[in-house]
């Protein structure tokens, strides 16, 4: 975001804002969901440098109704998990919600063709 302040046509002041942590912090604390769109009835979730503990996994439909709920136990470092649901889901846009042990939440959009 940039704010430009023009005063009497003589001076232009620029103020640039940056997100704390920047791109490097985002890359090291990453959550990757694949394949997206989903193929079959499973989804891979890769967590990198996330806090260790028990995470609650919810897949919710566009009406915010849970269609799948499970728990995963995350250890330090990078971990891969496969989320599987027993029955085919209707095509559409879903939200994968990962509740952290500390109370925060990670939300990723998931498409089911």
* End-to-end C-alpha distance for the chain, whole angstroms: 35
Domains of the chain: 29-112 (2.60.40.1930)
Higher-confidence position of 30 and 24: 30
Q: What is the pLDDT of residue 17?
A: 41
Single out the residue of 101, 95, 48 nearest to residue 76, CA to CA.
48
Single out the residue of 92, 75, 71 nearest to residue 83, CA to CA.
71
Give the long-range contacts of residues 86-91, CB within 8 A, separation 24 or more. 86/41, 87/41, 88/41, 89/41, 89/61, 90/61
pTM, to two decimals: 0.71
Give the distance from CA 83 to its chain's centroid.
Answer: 15
Query: Could you read off the pLDDT of 32-51 as tens digits, one per residue?
Result: 999 999 999 999 999 998 88
At 14, the pLDDT band (50, 70, 90 cuts) reads very low
């Amino acid at each position: 975001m940039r704010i430009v302040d023009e005063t009497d046509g003589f001076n232009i002041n620029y103020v640039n804002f940056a997100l704390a942590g920047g791109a490097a912090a985002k890359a090291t604390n990453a959550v990757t969901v694949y394949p997206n769109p989903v193929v079959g009835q499973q989804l891979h979730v890769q967590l990198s440098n996330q806090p260790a503990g028990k995470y609650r996994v919810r897949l919710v439909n566009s009406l915010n109704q849970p269609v799948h709920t499970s728990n995963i136990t995350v250890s330090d470092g990078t971990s891969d998990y496969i989320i599987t649901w027993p029955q085919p889901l209707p095509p559409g846009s879903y939200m994968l919600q990962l509740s952290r042990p500390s109370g925060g939440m990670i939300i990723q959009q998931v498409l089911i063709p």
